[in-house]
């Protein structure tokens, strides 16, 4: 719809020209600077990284002719919020080695570091990857972290739902190899600002989604994920010691823009019922439709 009116936002243009989320990230990462330029900073989000600066010091540094005091937030993507003990210990150690000593738990069951400087971003990402933890898609206009209820109660239902959350997350990760090229020293598939994107994402296309997309799973007796507040929710239908299927909830969200009455929080609508084996394809279909509608 936006293309028909010629009203494509600057961010959409950055995504479309990024060659699969590459942009100028690699050369800017290698440069001896404290921060990324604005366009690259937009693409950083898809890799799980936000560029920030010390707001309290802005005016003082500006008056002194200094650039902002840049640091980075690095967010892990942890479906269901479940880590092994070994993974947690790695995150705890990295928070002190590369961050400001804090490891924050987010409302979407992620962990994130603050205070990482640009020169240590790559080492942070590689250490996380070595622990089998990714940051890809933890931020940006893609499927965000998939939530489920983490209470360690007896029975197989919780484990089944956790595995479902992990499958959804894996199914909807961006397919670009840019993450491996930039952070993990993978083979580069193309270079230069004019190089084509040789790997169009099968679900997100070249513009990805218009906004972030949130998915959660809940039980009838445990709605710890606030499933109705998500873009896409799955409410489990327990049947004895197995899950017979899921009620599908669509269109929830708490976001709004002040002063714009066309934006408002809303609860998701019960829309359909699906079998467990079709949950990933349901996400694919609805997520793809969201992307198409935004374009």
Identify the bridge partners of residue 243 per DSSP, sorted by sequence position.
Answer: 238
Whether residue 164 contacts residue 248, with contact meaning beta carbons closer than 8 Å, is answered with: no
Residue 28 has phi, psi (to 5 degrees) of: -70, -35
Going from the C-alpha of 129 to that of each of 76, 118, 136, the distances in angstroms are: 10, 18, 10
**The pLDDT of residue 193:** 39
**Is there a contact between 237 and 273 (Cβ–Cβ < 8 Å)?**
yes
What tokens appear for 182 in the block?
């930039």
Q: From first to last of its 295 residues, what are the pLDDT tens digits of the chain?
A: 344 445 788 999 999 999 999 999 999 999 999 999 999 999 999 999 999 999 999 999 999 999 999 999 999 999 999 999 999 999 999 999 999 999 999 999 999 999 999 999 999 999 999 999 999 999 999 999 999 998 888 888 999 999 999 999 999 999 999 999 999 987 544 434 344 455 678 889 999 999 999 999 999 999 999 999 999 999 999 998 889 999 999 999 998 888 888 888 999 999 999 887 788 778 878 766 655 544 4
**Is 225 exposed, middle or buried (CB count within 10 Å of its CB: 0-12, 13-18, 19+)?**
buried
- For residue 292, the model assigns a pLDDT of 52
The C-alpha atoms of residue 79 and residue 19 are separated, in whole angstroms, by: 27
CB distance 111 to 91 below 8 Å: yes
Domain limits, the chain? 10-294
pLDDT at 261: 86
CA separation for the pair 290, 272 (Å, rounded): 17
Q: Which residues on adjacent β-strands are paired with residue 152?
A: none
pLDDT value of position 222: 94
Contact between 218 and 149 (Cβ < 8 Å): yes
Can you give the pTM of this predicted structure?
0.88
Pairwise CA distance, residues 188 & 180, whole Å: 9
So what CATH class is 10-294? alpha beta
| Tokens read off for 193 | 């600002």
Distance CA(254)–CA(265), nearest Å, equals 4
């Amino acid at each position: 719809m936006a293309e028909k009116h010629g009203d494509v936002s600057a961010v959409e243009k950055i995504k479309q020209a990024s060659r699969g989320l590459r942009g100028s990230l690699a050369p800017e990462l290698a440069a001896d600077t404290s921060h990324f330029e604005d366009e690259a900073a937009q693409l950083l989000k898809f890799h799980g990284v936000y560029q920030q600066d010390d707001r309290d010091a802005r005016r003082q540094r500006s008056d002194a002719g200094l650039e902002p005091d840049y640091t980075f937030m690095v967010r892990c993507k942890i479906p269901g919020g479940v880590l092994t003990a070994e993974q947690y210990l790695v995150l705890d150690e990295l928070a002190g080695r590369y961050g400001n000593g804090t490891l924050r738990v987010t409302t979407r069951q992620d962990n994130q570091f603050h205070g990482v400087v640009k020169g240590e971003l790559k080492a942070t990402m590689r250490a996380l990857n070595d622990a089998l933890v990714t940051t890809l898609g933890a931020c940006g206009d893609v499927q965000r972290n998939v939530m489920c209820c983490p209470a360690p109660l007896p029975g197989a239902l919780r484990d089944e739902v956790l595995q479902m959350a992990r499958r959804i997350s894996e199914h909807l990760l961006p397919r670009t190899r840019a993450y491996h090229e930039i952070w993990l020293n993978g083979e580069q598939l193309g270079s230069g600002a004019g190089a084509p994107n040789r790997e169009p994402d099968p679900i997100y296309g070249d513009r990805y989604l218009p906004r972030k997309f949130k998915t959660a799973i809940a039980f009838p007796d445990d709605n710890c994920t606030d499933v109705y507040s998500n873009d896409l929710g799955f409410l489990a239908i327990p049947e004895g010691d197995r899950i017979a299927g899921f009620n599908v909830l669509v269109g929830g969200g708490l976001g709004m823009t002040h002063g714009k009455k066309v934006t408002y929080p809303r609860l998701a609508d019960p829309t359909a019922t699906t079998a467990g084996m079709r949950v990933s394809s349901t996400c694919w279909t609805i997520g793809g439709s969201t992307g198409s509608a935004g374009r």
